[in-house]
Amino acid sequence: RSSARTAGLKGLRRLALVVRKRGTGECFRRPFWAWWPVCGAAVALSGCLGSIDGEPPSEGPRLLAEGESWSAKGDGPGAFVPDASVLVGPDAGAEPDGAMPAEPDAGVGPGPEPSPVRDPVPAGAHCEPVAYFGAARTALEDEVLRLTNQHRAAGASCGSEGTFGPAPALSMNAALRCAARLHSLDMDTRNFFAHTNPSGVTFDQRMTAAGYTWGYAGENILKPVLSAAAMVDAWMNSPGHCRNIMDAGFVDIGVGISTGNATQDFGRRL
């Protein structure tokens, strides 16, 4: 370990790039290390045809062998915080001095609880665990898509991966959104950070299980959850992840953001 790496721990990310094409049975990986600060937080990114695997332990950076990932426990500093109700003003909600509580109208009770609104993922048992992430998180995912398409429209230089001209906008696909959400939630629940989960299920297998018949597929992951702009900027500043975002071969995307992880699943159907 060099002193520069030890001193720069909070800017260290590991990227492992993977792309898979239907029928080839091949998955190409190119691991490398990159250093850059992102909002003062340690951000780990990973991509299949764009991936950053593993955040190093706090005692110092650790070089991971190919196929190995490091597990971290606990929420990151940018973890999603659910909405909370607040009272405004010093006497908000208080009864005036001497006032009697209002009597409820006779025969009138509280109305029925509104039914929860299902998020835009496919119906069925497979996607049910991620069907009610809520409006705030859905909006964050949509903003990641908007910023991703903004970069595609402009074209971009992806460093060692080359320069990419403008590409058509990606469409949010419900099945890919389900796959991305399930993977982010799984990384939260089982405390890992990788494209292949501890059960050995790969990113393309997750897409298929969600109902997406892919011919070309890729994935970016990131932790912790930050603003949409900060997450997309982090991916764009990594050559491999940038390439996934700019790849004109992709036409669909699913964005899934859990408490501590974000996933972009890219695809083109057969």
**Amino acid 118: pLDDT:** 87
Read off the pLDDT band of 260 (50, 70, 90): very high
- Quote the percentage of the chain above a pLDDT of 90: 56
Question: What total number of domains does the chain contain?
Answer: 1
Averaged pLDDT, 239-249 = 97
Question: What pLDDT is stored for residue 50 in this prediction?
Answer: 38
How confident is the model over 63-107, as pLDDT tens digits?
A: 222 333 333 333 333 333 232 222 333 334 444 344 444 554 555
Helix ranges, 12-171 (H): 135-154
Residue 253 lies in a domain: yes
144: in domain = yes
Helices 239-246 and 228-236: crossing angle, nearest 10°? 110
Mapped to the 3 state alphabet, what secondary structure does 23-49 carry?
Answer: CCCCEEEEEEEEECCECCECCEEEEEC
Residue 8 lies in a domain: no
Q: Provide the pLDDT for residue 92.
A: 41
Closest among 120, 11, 84, 77 to 227, alpha carbons compared: 77
* Structural domain for 205, as ranges: 119-269
C-beta neighbour count of 39 within 10 angstroms:
13
Phi, psi of 57 (to 5 degrees): -60, 160
Average the pLDDT over each of 108-112, 185-189, 243-247 and give the range with the smallest value: 108-112
In a domain, 16, yes or no: no
Q: How many residues does the chain have?
A: 270
Between 39 and 146, where is the model more confident?
A: 146
> What element of type H or E holds 243?
helix 239-246
What's the confidence (pLDDT) of residue 259?
A: 94
CATH number at residue 125: 3.40.33.10
pLDDT at 144 over 70: yes
Check: CB of residue 120 under 8 Å from CB of residue 174.
Answer: yes
pTM over 0.75: no
Question: Which of 126 and 64 is assigned the larger pLDDT?
Answer: 126
What is the pairing mode between strands 252-257 and 171-172?
Answer: parallel
**Mean pLDDT, residues 156-171:** 97
CA distances from 147 to 120, 140, 152, 239, 259 (A): 19, 11, 9, 17, 20
User: Are 212 and 179 spatial neighbours (Cβ–Cβ below 8 Å)?
Assistant: yes
Q: Comparing 203 with 7, which gets the higher pLDDT? A: 203
For residues 139-144, average pLDDT: 98
Domain-located, residue 216? yes
Asked whether residue 249 is domain-assigned, the answer is yes
- Higher per-residue pLDDT: 77 or 202: 202
In a domain, 146, yes or no: yes
- With pLDDT > 70 as the criterion, what percentage of the chain qualifies? 58
Instruction: Give the mean pLDDT of the chain.
Output: 73
Q: Give yes or no for a contact between 223 and 261, defined as CB atoms under 8 angstroms apart.
A: yes
What was the pLDDT predicted at 115?
72
Is residue 76 assigned to a domain? no
